[in-house]
Amino acid sequence: MQLANKVAVVTGSAQRIGATIAATLAARGAAVVVNYRYSAADAAATVERISLDGGTALALAGDMANAEDVEALFAATLAAFGRVDILVNNASTFRRTPLESLVEADWTDMLDNNLHAARRPALRFGNWMRAHGAGAIVNIADTAAERPWRGYLPYSIAKAGIVALTRGLAKELAPEVRVNAIAPGPILFPPDYDPAARERELARTLLRREGHPQNIADAVVALVENDYITGVLLPVDGGRSLGA
């Protein structure tokens, strides 16, 4: 799939990795919907950045854990561009949930804002793509999907669900729509992340260094453009998944 003149929707793309994915797809010629939940100012800045670089982008609000918001995003995308060719499910919530203090709300939060925030748009946009003959979906998972982290059980399980969703939808939507996933490693640690823990995490990678959002964006482009890849989970983690 060549990206020129295609339409891409990137959920959770106002800032950080999502913004880099959106800008990279736009630089390759796609018109991009920058979806956000709360970060309106950041989304506007991402759209401006894309526009200044000669690309086309539109910021649209919506909580991907909410079915009505997903439907509104779908309708607004078609109203603006008349089609959708690419969906990148990047919207996510990440926080520590130690087992000793885990409550039911933690499960709801993590499953809704990770697994279901990918499931709902994947089904809505994916079924439309299949009916119209072609499309590509890339879900952003995590290395925790296959190697759960202590203290992040609901998050790890939600991300594991995204991997299962990817493989299942690759079968359900074939042959018209390809569905793949990316498992990022240590990239863009939260600002309040413990420095000692950060160094321990980087030491577990084979490359002994932190990745960059562009590494993920380039992987998204590769999975979208290569039309003979579907149903895969691609680690972009500096070798972290090997358990170094």
Q: Which residues are catalytic?
A: 155
> Which of these, 81, 84, 87, 77, lies nearest to 11 by C-alpha position?
87
Instruction: Return d(Cα 62, Cα 20) in angstroms, integer.
Output: 19
